[in-house]
Structure 1
Amino acid sequence: MITEQKPLQSGFGPNTTAQEVIAGFDLGGKVAVVTGGHGGIGLETTRALAGAGATVIVGARDVDQARETLASFGNVEVIQLDLAVPESIDAFAEVFLSSERELDILILNAGVSYHPTIRDERGYDTHFATNYLGHFQLTTRLWEPLKRAENARVVALSSTGHLAGPIDFDDLHFAQRPYDKAISYGASKTACSLFAIALDKRGQEHGVRAFAVHPGAILSGLARHLSDEDLAGWGVKRNEDGSYTSSGGFKTTEQGAATSVWCAVSPMLNGKGGVYCEDVDIAELLPADSTVYGGVRSWAIDPALAEKLWTISEDMLRIPHGTVSRNHD
């Protein structure tokens, strides 16, 4: 079933918080994985899901730091995960798979923005490799427990960064063109959205539905690599203590986590998937030349581009074609 890229009039909005979305839900017995679930909007996502009774497994590069941050949370586990390192992703998956649990919710939240390192050790664009390709690998490794849940949801965090334009499939890693950090970041977030489209197509027959989410503009740790000049262009000043002061227009982390949580649990989305969401609703599809800083553009939800990217990603990771769509039951 194809879900229309059209707002549902959910009754929520840009100021809604994750706690308001999750109010009244009982997720007891449910299992969720949240990458980067110990900081920023990931932390608030973990707080909401765990507070509603779900067991939440947090993937974190720094396990000690994550455990310290999450020490007061009940039913939360931390497993080491570095999305830029394929071996780390496999190790995380093996630990989860060994528990033989079903996976009801997978939130692909972690990421980097405007990273100073242009390419990883494989020569892959760092934004693309970390924000998208690492999550692609993780999802394929966790495919069987997602299927066993029979009613699982996968949430891939995208961004208005996709407004930078379509993915350049002929030069994914900036081998022929000058590197541009904004275009690089934007392409990785377009890829995350296309991933949700392709995954939802494959998952429907197994009860796995996928959603792309723009959380909103949030002043979080992702801004640490931005220059003062970059920040000033957004009306933001970096303070000496590492905090930020802005002229407005930014969401709190609690508000930023709301759409992810809504996509993970809302009954309004039963039987739906393969759409880009923002402000706790399905986003509006806007024309390519629209100057509105919001909504979604066609190149981020195009099924043909999603399939093209999926095939390329399987090849890059040497994953046999059709792995995710196969039914091993």
Structure 2
Amino acid sequence: MSSVQTPIHSGFSMASTADEVLAGIDLTGKTAVVTGGYSGIGTETSRALRAAGARVIVPARDLAKARKALDGIDVTIEPMDLADPASIDAFAERFLARGEPLHILVNSAGVMAMPLTRDTRGYEMQFATNHLGHFQLTARLWPALKRAGGARVVSVSSRGHRFAGVDFDDPNFTHREYDPWVAYGQSKTANVLFALGVDKRGEAYGIRAFALHPGAIITDLVRHMSQDDLRARGAIDEEGRPVVDLARGFKSVPQGAATSVWCATSPQLDGMGGVYCEDVEVSPVLVDADNTPGRVSSDVGVRPWAIDPAAVENLWSLSEKLTGVSLPLR
């Protein structure tokens, strides 16, 4: 059962880095899969987990880009495209064929605020990549997660979940007008709801799941935004360099990866699961706030629609229907 959505006083802060969070934690003998592990905070997550002793596997759509980004970091790179169901299945089949346990799955890959694009199934690309691809990957890797006898699944969401809940009647914008920020918000809400669904189904097998907002970090994720827009938001300076300003929620990459590795490894979270975290802490629930799509906000807290039990089950059923994938019975 999900833990109470309330801060636990971790002792860390929004200024904490991935290495600080992992200090004293030995991951020798553990295996981690990090999607998006060759870009932005994903790269730092991969590096930090490897530095703590874990064997790290990074699925990559662009193998050349992954090799360049991860040069000098001792990780394993394997092909996989979250927008291609056959590619996800192939990656999972290779992993399962080795008979290994999977101790940590960090679902970090994502796209943001892109123009309307559809995958080969006709699904809206932000929902398909950010949520459905990770739903399928997690379901396919379920036997390996169970084999770990104590695994964690980490769903990298965003404060952007405040822009929208999941429209269960029209998740792919077939009948409603497309708004890139509403689509992003829907996919990020789905990331939170998915973590709660995983935790509910996995707790009996020692599988616990967490969702999180990493902070605002200027990485390749913002590639669909113009330089003028980023400057107007205060995200980059006049020279085009990323701004780090904790007072407004803009973090460095090492700070941005801190909550991911905390959720993946911290003994402070033993026996817990099914919660949304930010700034290396379990977040409070925030009821009254500005949820304007696309607007920068420093409000800390998860919105009620992202942790609603009925929405958790509705999303799970919808995801099974859209992907044709369910958790294995055994």
TM > 0.5 fold call: yes
Residue 19 of structure 1: how far off its partner (Å): 0.3
2:105 partner SS: strand
1:281 partner SS: coil
Of the structure 1 ranges 168-177 and 100-109, higher mean CA displacement relative to structure 2 is found in 168-177
Q: Which residue identity is paired with 1:129? A: A
Look up the match of 1:103.
Answer: 102
**What does residue range 4-153 of structure 1 map to in structure 2 within 5 Å?**
4-74=4-74, 76-153=75-152
Q: Matched residues in 2 for 1:271 and 1:236: separation? A: 37
The 3 A distance-change label for structure 1 pair 40 and 97 is same
Q: Which residue identity is paired with 1:171? A: D
Look up the match of 2:209.
Answer: 210
Query: Across the two proteins, how many residue pairs are aligned to each other?
Result: 320
Q: Deviations over 1:38-73 (max 9, x none)?
A: 121001101111001100000111112212332312
Q: Deviations over 1:78-118 (max 9, x none)?
A: 01111111111111111211221100000000111112342
Q: Which residue identity is paired with 1:236? A: A
Look up the match of 1:244.
Answer: 241
Look up the match of 1:254.
Answer: 254
Q: Which residue identity is paired with 2:117? A: I
Look up the match of 1:299.
Answer: 305
Q: Matched residues in 1 for 2:235 and 2:59: separation? A: 30
1:88 partner SS: helix
Q: Matched residues in 2 for 1:268 and 1:69: separation? A: 31
Q: Percent identity?
A: 54
1:119 partner SS: coil
**Are 2:26 and 2:53, in contact at CA under 8 Å, matched by a contact in 1?**
yes
The TM-score normalised by the length of structure 2 is 0.93
Which consecutive aligned stretches of 4+ in structure 1 deviate over 4 angstroms post-superposition? Answer: 237-240
The 3 A distance-change label for structure 1 pair 26 and 247 is closer
The 3 A distance-change label for structure 1 pair 204 and 127 is same
Question: Unmatched 5+ residue regions in structure 2?
Answer: 291-297
Q: Matched residues in 2 for 1:213 and 1:134: separation? A: 18
Q: Matched residues in 1 for 2:227 and 2:160: separation? A: 19
Look up the match of 2:317.
Answer: 311
**Are 2:195 and 2:274, in contact at CA under 8 Å, matched by a contact in 1?**
yes
2:223 partner SS: helix
The 3 A distance-change label for structure 1 pair 136 and 3 is same
Q: Matched residues in 1 for 2:95 and 2:238: separation? A: 40
2:90 partner SS: helix
Q: Which residue identity is paired with 2:317? A: T
Q: Which residue identity is paired with 2:241? A: Y
The 3 A distance-change label for structure 1 pair 45 and 247 is closer
| TM-align CA RMSD | 1.6
**Are 1:239 and 1:245, in contact at CA under 8 Å, matched by a contact in 2?**
no
Q: Matched residues in 2 for 1:315 and 1:239: separation? A: 47
The 3 A distance-change label for structure 1 pair 236 and 281 is closer
Q: Matched residues in 1 for 2:319 and 2:6: separation? A: 28
Q: Matched residues in 2 for 1:177 and 1:264: separation? A: 37
Q: Deviations over 1:211-255 (max 9, x none)?
A: 001100000100111123432341234878xx5344833101100
Question: Unmatched 5+ residue regions in structure 1?
Answer: none
**Are 1:235 and 1:247, in contact at CA under 8 Å, matched by a contact in 2?**
no
Q: Which residue identity is paired with 2:218? A: L
The 3 A distance-change label for structure 1 pair 246 and 52 is closer
**Are 1:228 and 1:238, in contact at CA under 8 Å, matched by a contact in 2?**
no
Q: Matched residues in 2 for 1:112 and 1:140: separation? A: 21
1:272 partner SS: coil
Q: Matched residues in 1 for 2:69 and 2:286: separation? A: 39
Look up the match of 1:154.
Answer: 153
**Are 1:155 and 1:264, in contact at CA under 8 Å, matched by a contact in 2?**
yes
Q: Deviations over 1:239-294 (max 9, x none)?
A: 78xx534483310110000001000111111110000000001011111x324622
**Are 2:168 and 2:318, in contact at CA under 8 Å, matched by a contact in 1?**
no
